[in-house]
């Protein structure tokens, strides 16, 4: 993985990373920069170029100029470029994983295997699917309908900081496979792996301007991007508050948007559940600093097993290893940033003020100010902030129920609706619950199984639209129906 000779770079745990934007296939360094520090130890990683509206203008212009030729290649013509990009991600596994861990604080074991592998599969899957997407034919007595998924233009892709490598490729994959070009705005708290992806895009031979990266802050680069007159799609993963701002900008030009905005997901455990399985899945909400949008952060436990389940949960959480995420034994890593740590602590402090009880946790470990303890909050009253709003930290609330109706009432008590978990050995109960829970996804006796062909997305404050499979092409494409009267056209 190399960078241009004149590009400003930083060394991140031995990996050279360009710190400038990537526009029209060229690096561009800004006079203004912002600092990036590792959440692991506070170490300064890089001074990164701070994008402006002018940088966004140039990036969108480059993407717009590259669009006609990229779209004209068709799925078959784009396929070799995308497959090579997917291969390069795997070939550069160590560099990508090293930088992602330093930048985000995610466990190196997870970034090396799950995140890198999934990033490569994101690209390959959508390249493969694009070859089949235009084969749909709908027959009727008078006409034959041919459904086309045509490229829509320049897409704005705004990615989050809790998994930038995987989540950026989750957007780039369908966007490019559909024939669109893109301007990516990486997260300001963790922009460095996106810079490495730009190098791999160039190495794969993807034409200049097809994908552009402009680093910077949401109120500057991000706002200029979503307000740009030449943007035809906006895909954003982040907070509901930011999504509302983006939606207002998109509304002026009726630009289609796709939002994945996090959740307050219920994890429902029935008395007949495999308790060891349920406990092992429950503690996942504490890993990676609890910074996962689908985490089951509201534990709803059937009253008859509540005491036993809490005992097992407490024992298992206490054994989780905290430390440097570069150590394979580490299970609990840091929060991303001091500002976010203060946000998490604020939720816990206000919960106590509201009358909640901290069963365990509620502060930081000795390992560092960003290493927050797994926290269980009990004595929850309906409507408390800690029950209603996403904390995005290793904080789980505890409530009990007696009947399925009570469990459903609790599960559906928030404005979020991204995902949910149900643990039971009754298939009938599992399907009854899944049908009644208000969420975009329900996992039964499992968690975070994300089949690329399946829809991913939520309801309410959790977002708009679905990602995955054909649902991604529904968003990134202009869908056209061609109705041909039967026998009206001579066959060639």
Catalytic machinery residues: 260, 293
∠ at Cα 376 (371, 379), nearest 5°? 145
Cα separation of 230 and 155, whole Å? 9
Residue 486: how many other CB atoms lie within 10 Å:
11
| 111, two tokens | 């970034």
What does the CA dihedral 14, 15, 19, 20 come to, rounded to 10 degrees? 150
Contact 392, 291 (CB under 8 A): yes
DSSP collapsed to 3 states, the chain: CCCCCCCCEEEECCEEEECCEEECCEEECCCCEEEEECCCCCCEEEEEECCCHHHHHHHHHHHHHHHHHHHHCHHHHHHHHHHHHHHHHHHCHHHHHHHHHHHHCCCHHHHHHHHHHHHHHHHHHHHHHHCCHHHCEEECCCEEEEEEEEECCEEEEECCCCCHHHHHHHHHHHHHHCCCEEEEECCCCCCHHHHHHHHHHHHCCCCCCCEEECCCCHHHHHHHHHCCCCEEEEEEECCHHHHHHHHHHHHCCCCCEEEECCCCCEEEECCCCCHHHHHHHHHHHHHHHHCCCCCCCEEEEEHHHHHHHHHHHHHHHHCCCECCCCCCCCCECCCCCHHHHHHHHHHHHHHHHCCCEEEECCCECCCCCCCECCEEEECCCCCCHHHHCCCCCCEEEEEEECCHHHHHHHHCCCCEECEEEEECCCHHHHHHHHHHCCCCEEEECCCCCCCCCCCECCEECCEECCECHHHHHHHHEEEEEEEEECCCCCCC
């Amino acid at each position: 993985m190399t960078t241009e000779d004149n590009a400003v770079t930083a060394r991140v745990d031995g990996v050279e990373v360009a710190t400038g934007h990537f526009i029209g296939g060229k690096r561009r360094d800004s006079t203004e920069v912002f600092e990036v520090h590792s959440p692991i130890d506070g170490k300064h990683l890089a001074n990164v170029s701070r994008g402006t509206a002018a940088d966004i203008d140039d990036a969108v212009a480059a993407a717009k100029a590259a669009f006609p030729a990229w779209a004209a290649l068709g799925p078959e013509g784009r396929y070799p470029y995308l497959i090579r990009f997917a291969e390069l991600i795997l070939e550069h596994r160590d560099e990508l994983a090293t930088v992602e861990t330093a930048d985000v604080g995610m466990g190196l074991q997870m970034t090396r295997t799950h995140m890198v592998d999934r990033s490569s599969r994101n690209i390959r899957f959508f390249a493969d699917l694009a070859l089949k997407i235009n084969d749909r034919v709908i027959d009727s007595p008078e006409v034959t309908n041919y459904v086309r998924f045509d490229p829509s233009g320049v897409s704005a892709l705004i990615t989050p900081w809790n998994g930038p490598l995987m989540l950026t490729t989750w957007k780039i994959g369908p966007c490019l496979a559909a024939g669109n070009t893109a301007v990516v705005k990486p997260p300001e708290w963790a922009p460095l792996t996106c810079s490495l992806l730009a190098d791999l895009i160039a190495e794969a031979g993807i034409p200049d301007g097809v994908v552009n990266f402009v680093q910077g802050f949401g109120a500057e680069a991000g706002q200029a991007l979503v307000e740009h007159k030449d943007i035809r799609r906006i895909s954003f993963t982040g907070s509901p508050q930011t999504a509302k701002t983006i939606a207002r900008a998109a509304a002026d030009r009726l630009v289609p948007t796709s939002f994945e905005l996090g959740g307050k997901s219920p994890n429902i455990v029935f008395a007949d559940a495999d308790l060891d399985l349920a406990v092992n899945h429950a503690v996942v909400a504490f890993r990676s600093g609890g910074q996962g949008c689908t985490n089951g952060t509201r534990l709803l436990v059937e009253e008859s097993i509540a005491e036993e389940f809490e005992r097992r949960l407490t024992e298992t959480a206490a054994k989780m290893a905290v430390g440097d995420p570069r150590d394979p034994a580490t299970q609990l890593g840091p929060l991303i940033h001091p500002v976010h740590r203060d946000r998490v602590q604020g939720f816990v402090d206000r919960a106590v003020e509201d009358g909640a009880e901290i069963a365990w946790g509620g502060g930081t470990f000795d390992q560092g100010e960003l290493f927050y303890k797994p926290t269980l909050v009990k004595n929850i009253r309906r409507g408390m902030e800690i029950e209603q709003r996403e904390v995005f930290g290793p904080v789980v609330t505890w409530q009990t129920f007696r009947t399925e109706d009570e469990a459903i009432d609790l599960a559906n008590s928030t404005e979020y609706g991204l995902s949910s978990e149900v643990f039971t050995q009754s298939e009938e109960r599992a399907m009854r619950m899944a049908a009644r829970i208000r969420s975009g996804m329900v996992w039964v006796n499992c968690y975070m199984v994300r089949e690329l062909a399946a829809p991913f997305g939520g309801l309410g404050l959790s977002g708009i639209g679905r990602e995955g499979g054909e649902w991604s092409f529904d968003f990134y494409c202009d869908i056209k129906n061609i109705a041909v009267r039967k026998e009206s056209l001579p066959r060639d």
